[in-house]
Amino acid sequence: MQKTDIRGLYLITDGSRGEALCQRVEAALRGGVRVLQYRAKDLPEQEMYAEACQLRALCRSAGALFLINDSPELALACDADGVHLGQQDRPVAAARALLGPGKIIGTSNRTVAQAQASEAAGADYLAVGSMYPTATKGDAVHVGLDTLRAVREAVALPLVAIGGLDRDRTGEVLAAGADAVAVISAVLADPSPALAAAEIALQFNVRQPWPRGRVLTVAGSDSGGGAGIQADLKTVTLLGSYGMSVITALTAQNTCGVRAIHGVPADFVAQQLDAVLEDLAPEVVKTGMLHNAEMVRLVARRLAACGRLLVVDPVMVAKGGAALLQRDAVQACREELLPHCYLLTPNLPEAEILTGLPVRNEEDMARAALRLQEMGVRHVLMKGGHLEGEAVDLLRDGRGWQRFPAARISGRNTHGTGCTFSAAIAALLAQGRPLPAAVATAKQFITTAIERAVDLGAGHGPVNHFAAARQLGRMLQHPPG
């Protein structure tokens, strides 16, 4: 990587030590960290050197930059990519004399004048902050977004926003001109550093050209075209992302029902997964029909270590009543798939099967969502299409609750709503929208798709993906649809 590659998710170590730090950093790198800054002020010199070498090796393997906090000497000794200097550390010129022209030097800045002085002194990038109040550094001065915008206008160097940042604040600093977002506890203090890193790192996709974001769907084929792989790929493509597929089962079905199911052999599903993951680097993976326990276990194990956001639509029963998930697969879902799940999108009957709880109203939905989080799911979107009255969806995202109501739309053309809704969320996540915004926009999409559905076939017809994408494209003013 080059000096100009100070961009994306920038992680600063938090003072923890040893094997636990290396494990969490390795997970965060899988999730999308592009720059690591090693900070270990109180560690003896030899231990600091040994740990720095371990972390440097992890960064090299992941293709990420490795920087040392404050010490050009340590950066030189462990062959780091560069050093980050505070305002009270040695001047940029002194660090450059020691490190030479090929290493990266960054500085911390709170004002436009400091940023301009650092640029003039030969710094390669500038950190600006603290953007928000932060518990990580008690003496940090809160400078805010206006200062970041002013620095962006005044200098040409890459800018790293730092201080109090997390998933929900990343979009603001990117809009204000940041090239990178520095975090500490938002990733390293999270029980899943890989997922915490991924949900921040993906937000940098908002600057990518269309098609934006890569989505893999692992699901069954619907010969009628309204659900499954076909609905997923329509949705992903019409919303402006690049779609890939792994087919787990073939179905013979139309709008009147499922006539037959032919499971794809597990070893061939594994070959499909390996082929896509090794070459096309999907950023979000969405699962639908997994059919049997062997398939559930295979998919869970293959996806557990890849660091991608996993959106699970626990497809169990078709509209006409045909079972799409065998009984022995339910326990496999609970034990092996849910603990790796970034977002689970069950409807009420599916939530009942997975939790063993009755789910009849919003209070039941909330109770079931909490139970699912206890089972290892990071975020849960309870879909309320089976409620009486409003079609209310309830999101439990680890920070609290969000309610997404919509008027109930009467009609028979609702085939593929679950597949389409979860695929839309997956595409919007891949495009760089944080989870609450992705769910809200996907809710608009599926509501319009149901409203604009046209009669096809004699049974439960499909929703109108094309009309929904056109309507959403006009609202959001982007090319897809």
pLDDT at 387: 84
Over the stretch 25-76, which tens digit does the pLDDT of each residue have?
A: 999 999 999 999 999 877 888 999 999 999 999 999 999 999 999 999 999 9
Tell me the CATH number at 141.
3.20.20.70
Residue 102 pLDDT level (bands cut at 50, 70, 90): very high
Give the alpha-carbon dihedral of 75, 77, 80, 85, to 10 degrees: 0
Compare 478 and 14 and report the one with higher pLDDT.
Answer: 14
User: By percentage, how much of the chain surpasses pLDDT 90?
Assistant: 79
Same domain for 145 and 279?
no
Say yes or no: 219 and 76 in one domain.
Answer: no
For residue 285, being part of any structural domain is answered with yes
Average pLDDT rounded to a whole number, residues 369-387: 94
13 a catalytic residue: no
Cα–Cα distance, 200 to 181 (Å, whole number): 9
Q: Where is the domain boundary, 207, 241, 260? A: 207
Residues 154 and 275 in one domain: no
Mean pLDDT of 384-413: 87
pLDDT at 462 over 90: yes
What integer pLDDT is reported at residue 323 of this predicted model?
A: 64
Same domain, 166 and 221: no
Among residues 207, 242, 277, the one where a domain terminates is 207
Contacts 24+ apart (CB under 8 A), 83-92: 84/37, 84/108, 84/127, 87/114, 91/121, 92/118, 92/121, 92/122, 92/123
- Mean pLDDT on 261-284: 95
Query: Residues 243, 384, 419, 443: which is the catalytic one?
Result: 419
Q: Are residues 173 and 240 in the same domain?
A: no
Indicate if 347 and 424 belong to the same structural domain: yes
Could you confirm whether 164 is annotated as catalytic? no
Question: What share of residues in the chain are helix, strand, coil (percent, to 5)?
Answer: 45, 20, 35
383 labelled catalytic: yes
Q: Give how many domains the chain has, as a whole number.
A: 2
In a shared domain, residues 12 and 94: yes
pLDDT at 117 over 80: yes
237 and 194, same structural domain? no
State the chain's mean pLDDT as an integer.
91
Cβ partners under 8 Å of residue 432, min gap 6 = 171, 202, 203, 204, 205, 206, 207, 208, 212, 213
Q: Catalytic pick from 414, 420, 441, 447?
A: 414
The confidence band for 139, taking pLDDT boundaries of 50, 70 and 90, is: low
Going by C-alpha positions, the residue among 336, 329, 281, 344 that lies closest to residue 307 is 281
Could you tell me the pLDDT band of residue 476, with boundaries at 50, 70 and 90? low
Q: Name the residue with tokens 């992705």.
A: 438
Q: Which helix (H) or strand (E) holds 56?
A: helix 45-62
Residue 17: band (very low, low, confident or very high) from pLDDT cuts 50, 70, 90? low
- pLDDT at res. 318: 60
Q: Is residue 416 part of a domain?
A: yes
CA distances from 321 to 110, 115, 252, 270, 318 (A): 62, 64, 14, 29, 5
| Residue 397: burial class (beta carbons within 10 Å; 0-12, 13-18, 19+) | buried
318-374: pLDDT as tens digits: 655 566 677 788 889 999 999 999 999 999 999 999 999 999 999 999 999 999 999
- 182 and 235 in a single domain? The answer is no
Asked if residue 479 has pLDDT above 80, the reply is: no
Predicted confidence (pLDDT) per residue in 299-311, tens digit? 999 998 777 899 9
Q: Which residue of the set 224, 416, 432, 481 is catalytic?
A: 416
Q: Say if residue 152 is in the same domain as residue 286.
A: no
Sorting pLDDT into bands at 50, 70 and 90, what band is 481?
very low
Catalytic residue, from 255, 345, 355, 417: name it.
417
**With contact defined as beta carbons under 8 Å apart, do 362 and 321 qualify?**
no
Is residue 136 part of the annotated active site? The answer reads: no
pTM: 0.92
Same domain flag for 227 and 200: no
Is beta strand 284-287 parallel, antiparallel or unpaired with respect to 214-222? parallel
Could you say which of 190, 207, 224 is where a domain stops?
A: 207
Catalytic residue (choose from 3, 286, 383, 443): 383
Point out the catalytic residue in the list 228, 243, 418, 461.
418
Residue 213 has pLDDT above 70, yes or no: yes
Give pLDDT, residue 464: 94
The distance in angstroms from the start CA to the end CA of the chain is: 36
Q: Is 419 a catalytic residue?
A: yes
Instruction: Enter the tokens of residue 45.
Output: 């010199």
Q: Is 416 a catalytic residue?
A: yes
Q: Could you give the CA distance from residue 457 to residue 1 in angstroms, rounded to a whole number? A: 55
pLDDT of residue 291: 84
Per-residue pLDDT, 308? 87
Alpha carbon 182 to its chain centroid, in Å, reads 17
- Which domain covers residue 126, as residue numbers? 3-207
pLDDT at 478: 55
Q: Is residue 481 part of a domain?
A: no
Q: Do 357 and 285 belong to one domain?
A: yes
pLDDT of residue 142: 81
